[in-house]
Amino acid sequence: MNAAILAVIGLAVFYAGFRFYSAWLNRSLYRTDPDLKTPAHEFEDGLDYVPTKRHILFGHHFTSIAGAAPIIGPCVAAYWGWLPACLWIILGSVFMGAAHDFGALVLSVREKGRSIADVSSKIMSGNARIMFLLFVLMLVWLVLAVFAMAIADLFVSVPSTVVPINIQIVLAITVGWLIYKKGTGALIPSLVALALLYAFIWVGTKMPFSFEEMGMSRADASTTWVIILFIYSAIASLLPVWFLLQPRDYINSHQLLVGLGLLYAGIFYVRPLVEAPAVRMAVDHGAPPMIPLLFVTIACGAISGFHGLVASGTTAKQLNSVRDTRMIGYGGMLGEGTLALASMIAAVAGISLVAACNLPTQGAVADLSWAVYYDSWAHASGNKAAAFVLGGGALIQELGVPAELAQTLMAVLVISFAATTLDTATRIQRFVLSELGSAVKIKPLENRYFATLVAVLPALALTLWNITDPSTGAAKQAGWVLWPIFGASNQMLAGLTLMVITLYFWKRKRPVLPVLIPMIFVMTATLVSLVLKTIDFASSNRLLFGLNLFLIVLIAWMIYEGIQTVKRGQRQAETA
């Protein structure tokens, strides 16, 4: 199988999905009113509610949802073979993920920028709102912990990324100042900033920064970076969105387009053969079953509840016109699907081009291949995004880019979007805590500074706390052990968001099958996954067993509230 054929099929389906399916959803289900006053204009405050040009907001939304998960997930899922993973990425993005993101954005804009969790109180009940908010809190703490650890690990393993990533913060602040304080157009400053970023990527390869060279151990270096990252994300989440978040995301959107362009150019130029089998028939002892774990391992690359939080948490508050919802909501998810597809191709074909490398869980390896990289589930899940960095870097090298520079380019790409998601997730967690404080009458949570502190500290604890991994018996950071729970809870949040969207438009007598069918599919696959993980944890880790059980109870309660909402609606229809 030629990897270029996979790329062509995937890109063609994504184009058709946006051209035809999103237009149909817009006409028949969401029916956006072009004259509706958006929350950004209605509540403009220069801090969180800021009317933003479509291309700038697309950059923010795209890079906020395109974090490490659509890279890590496909890299791990390649263990089961390329066919099921590619089908889930392509079809899931078009018919589930993009419809979910589009719907969450439209619903939030119609409801004055309220989050999906907040809107659930209007559609279902006050209890549903509290359950939803608790579920979101747990998920975002996991997101913050995992993304901070992923960035820290890359800083340690690829020290040439430190200089360009930190310089990008300075460049973003400069671009934000030029756009909003000097009235400069956005495109030229952001392109200049992008060029400077690439220049500093080269500088980073010549002047790598490493705490290990200062005498720290690898573990201490990683912990130090995690603490720095959380301090940064707390400060960034409190700044006005135009000051750092928007311009950084806009620069990153250009970087992602360039990076994806180079990756796909490498795929079409080299046309590497796919080394992985279509479906892996024999798995090693301890590997989880492909069904349903595939659907939660590739989370953000096909559908993600976190996207609904971004759409209703920050994007809806910056939307300039309702006409922009289709491009930003549906189109942003297709962009993430394109990234996930590139990650999958790097994992099943690009790694065959790697002559020598140093894998996190295997040490020095020469002549890397799919069979070597994916020799066991423990290695596949432990190596995480290394397949993307190594395989993607090898594809870019074939275009004439020096090896060290190519690897740094890929690593900076991963870190940039993980850091953007870290910023956005911290801001979203602040909003969620404020909403929860309002719902349960805890006044301090409505204070933005106290809410930010509560948003960050539990996530930091997950990175510093080591517990036993029940799948391997080794001690790991709690955040990494909880990664399977993140995937399942993230997908369940998508199912719950689809439930809210379905009930919202069902009450308005719209054709809801395009969101009802994905809701049933995602909820079923995720509940089974959570039950399987609960069984695994029952004998190996009581704390994780209790956490999984708590999530299942929250889900069951939300589903119950949804069923009661339908019954009330039917009774009202019968008595009308």
Domain locations in the chain? 3-277+287-568
User: Tokens representing 164?
Assistant: 């360009």
- Residue 481's pLDDT is 73
- Residue 78's pLDDT is 94
Domain 3-277+287-568 has CATH 1.10.4160: yes
| Per-position DSSP letters for 400-422, written without gaps between them | T--HHHHHHHHHHHHHHHHHHHH
Q: Is the dihedral of CA 46, 49, 54, 58 positive or negative?
A: positive
Is 0.95 surpassed by the pTM of this model? no
- Residue 259's pLDDT is 87
- Residue 265's pLDDT is 95
- Residue 384's pLDDT is 77
> Which residues have C-beta within 8 Å of that of residue 332, sequence separation ≥ 6?
58, 61, 62, 65, 101, 307
- Contacts of range 397-403, beta carbons closer than 8 Å, 24 or more positions apart: 397/353, 398/266, 398/269, 398/270, 398/353, 399/262, 399/265, 399/266, 399/269, 401/262
Distance CA 292, CA 286 (A): 15
Distance CA 328, CA 534 (A): 37
Distance CA 305, CA 454 (A): 21
- Residue 473's pLDDT is 67
Residue type at position 31 = R
List the chain residues with pLDDT less than 50.
none
- Residue 250's pLDDT is 85
- Residue 470's pLDDT is 63
Helices first, then strands: H and E counts in the chain = 26, 4
Cβ atoms of 34 and 322 closer than 8 Å: yes
- Residue 533's pLDDT is 81
